[in-house]
Structure 1
Amino acid sequence: MDIPEIFEGGKYSDERGSLTFNNNFNASEIKRMYCIENADTKFIRGWTGHKIEQRWFSVLQGHFLIRLIKIDNWEKPLKELSVLRFEIDSENLNVLHIPRGYASAIQAQKENSKLLVMADYSLGEIDDDYRFPIDYFENI
């Protein structure tokens, strides 16, 4: 898949409680996971990109705005690239897939939000981390 997409989850509730699930997401490519908790809702973590690695984001608690940019020239990317925006929250265990070739900027929309990040390469397996100043692609 070359474009970002959301695998929609769901939620079931009855007298016993609630169950959130995602039967549309195949986790077989995942090699590692970690959680991100931004210091506050004003802080934007980014821009960080990966030419080779794929990522999947799921919100465990709260709500996040994820900005994505497709980069073709990693040595000198254009500054006027189109920004995709995704808002995901913890209500339905949705999973946002970020294919290889994208950079992301991550901003919590609620205090104490937690983002689960999954990747298809182990830590140190490849050198594929590209970082750009937060105002490089857009004035945010």
Structure 2
Amino acid sequence: MDLPEIIEGRKHSDERGKLSFNNNFNASAIKRIYTIENNEIDFVRGWTGHKIEQRWFSAVQGSFIIRLIKINDWENPLNIFEILEFKLVSDKLDILHMPKGYVSAIQAKEENSKLLVMVDHALGEINDEYRFPQDYFKKI
């Protein structure tokens, strides 16, 4: 079973300037990219999930908290769940891999934050988007 993981980036600076890089990330599966910029830091974008598609996230400006939940039963997603939480910051090019079968909630933690999202399927290639209300996965 694939588990979410942070693929660590690095940074380097010298007299020429700064360089952020991630030599451990294999981008060969990527078919499209886009960015997310939330209007407010109190806003949480979620829950959105994918049975088939994978996502990779990287903060290119500011910082984000990304919460992930593995869905084992898409007909009854409230059956059992654990919320995993990851923090991405733009000071180095860390990339969070979200395997297929997860839902995500995304929150910017600083004003003007920008999140790069990479996907392994082209737009319209498959119908694989599942949305749940923001409070759907709150624990009682």
- Check whether TM > 0.5: yes
Pairing 1:124-139 to 2, within 5 Å after superposition: 124-138=124-138
Letter of the 2:119 counterpart: A
- Distance between the aligned counterparts of 2:93 and 2:79, measured in 1? 33
Residues 80-138 of structure 1 show CA distances to partners (whole Å, capped at 9, x for unaligned) of: 51100000110110000000000000000000000000000000000000000001112
User: What's the counterpart of residue 97 of structure 2?
Assistant: 97
Aligned length: 139
Verify the 8 A CA contact 1:29 1:120 in the aligned structure 2: yes
- Distance between the aligned counterparts of 1:81 and 1:29, measured in 2? 28
Per the TM alignment, residue 74 of structure 1 is displaced from its structure 2 partner at its CA by 1.1
Verify the 8 A CA contact 2:73 2:79 in the aligned structure 1: no
Unaligned runs of 5+ in 2: none
1:116 aligns with 2:108: no
Off by >2 Å, runs of 4+ in structure 1? none
Instruction: State the identity as a percent.
Output: 66
- Distance between the aligned counterparts of 1:13 and 1:79, measured in 2? 48
1:58 aligns with 2:58: yes
1:22 aligns with 2:22: yes
TM-score (norm 2): 0.96
User: What's the counterpart of residue 75 of structure 2?
Assistant: 75
User: What's the counterpart of residue 41 of structure 1?
Assistant: 41
RMSD: 1.1
Verify the 8 A CA contact 2:68 2:104 in the aligned structure 1: yes
- SS at structure 2 position matched to 1:72: coil
Classify 1:80/1:39 alpha carbon distance in 2 versus 1 (closer, same or farther; 3 Å).
farther
TM-score (norm 1): 0.96
Unaligned runs of 5+ in 1: none
